């Protein structure tokens, strides 16, 4: 949300529903996509997360980055509380072949960023080992840096960076093996 975030947050904290709705629409997609990596019930956990965010909203102090770190920390706790922290992988809606097909279709050959649907891309990330997938989502989707992610997943920033690199290398390898790199 950029520079406007502070104003929007202040309005939401003062009870402005439209401001809160704006924050929700900004954050919810990334929240759901992150939760898909760590729980089979992302919608339910996201709902629990917002309930807690709403309850603590008035007392929150900080900038957008801190807000995101706070919110995703809550989300992770709620996912753990749900008792379903991914012991089994969440259902991957798309097969890798489908992702690969999308990545190699004539329409996407020009590397247009919007050519790959979010759904296919999230499904692709979900094929990674859970820890790598979670860290990549927190880095890229939540927009957090290594230090913030380290606090959320309770690892060192160095370990976070290594895990993210491993995940990306694995993705690149998959892309290579499925012949989508051209």
Q: Could you list the residues that contact other proteins (CB under 8 A)? A: 12-15, 17, 20-21, 24-25, 28-30, 32-33, 43, 46-47, 50-51, 54-55, 57-58, 103, 108, 111, 113-122, 124-125, 136-137, 139-141, 143, 161, 164-166, 168-173, 175-177, 179-182
Please enumerate in sequence order all residues whose Cβ is within 8 A of that of 21, keeping only pairs 6 or more positions apart, or say none: none
Nearer CB in complex with other proteins: 7/43 = 43
Of 3 and 112, CB closest to other proteins: 112
We find the least distance from the C-beta atom of residue 175 to other proteins, in angstroms, to be 4
CB of 166 to other proteins, least distance (A): 7
Instruction: Rank residues 60 and 86 by Cβ distance to other proteins and give the closer one.
Output: 60
| Cβ at position 75, least distance to other proteins in Å | 13
Contact indicator for 44, 19 with CB cutoff of 8 Å: no
Q: How far is the CB of 103 from other proteins (least distance, A)?
A: 7
Closest CB 148 distance from other proteins, rounded Å = 13
Distance CA 74, CA 67 (A): 11
- The nearer residue to other proteins, 20 or 72, going by C-beta atoms, is 20
Question: Which pairs count as long-range contacts for 73-81, CB under 8 Å and 24+ apart, including other chains?
Answer: 73/151, 73/152, 74/49, 75/31, 75/34, 75/35, 75/45, 75/46, 75/49, 76/38, 76/152, 76/153, 78/45, 78/48, 78/49, 78/52, 79/35, 79/38, 79/39, 79/45, 81/48
Residue 87 or 96: the one with the smaller Cβ distance to other proteins is: 96
User: Taking a C-beta distance cutoff of 8 angstroms, is the pair 104, 97 a contact?
Assistant: no
């Amino acid at each position: 949300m950029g520079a406007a975030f502070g104003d929007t947050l202040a309005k939401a904290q003062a009870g402005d529903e439209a401001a809160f709705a704006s924050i929700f629409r900004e954050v919810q997609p990334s929240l759901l996509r992150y939760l898909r990596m760590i729980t089979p019930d992302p919608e339910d956990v996201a709902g629990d997360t917002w309930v807690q965010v709403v309850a603590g909203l008035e007392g929150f102090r900080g900038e957008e980055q801190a807000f995101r770190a706070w919110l995703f920390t809550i989300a992770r706790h709620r996912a753990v509380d749900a008792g379903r922290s991914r012991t089994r992988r969440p259902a991957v809606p798309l097969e890798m072949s489908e992702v690969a097909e999308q990545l190699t279709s004539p329409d996407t050959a020009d590397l247009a960023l919007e050519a790959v649907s979010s759904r296919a891309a999230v499904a692709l990330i979900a094929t990674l080992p859970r820890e790598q997938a979670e860290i990549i989502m927190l880095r890229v989707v939540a927009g957090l840096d290594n230090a913030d992610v380290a606090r959320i997943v309770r690892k060192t920033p160095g370990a976070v960076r290594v895990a993210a690199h491993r995940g990306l290398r694995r993705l690149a390898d998959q892309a290579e093996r499925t012949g989508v790199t051209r």
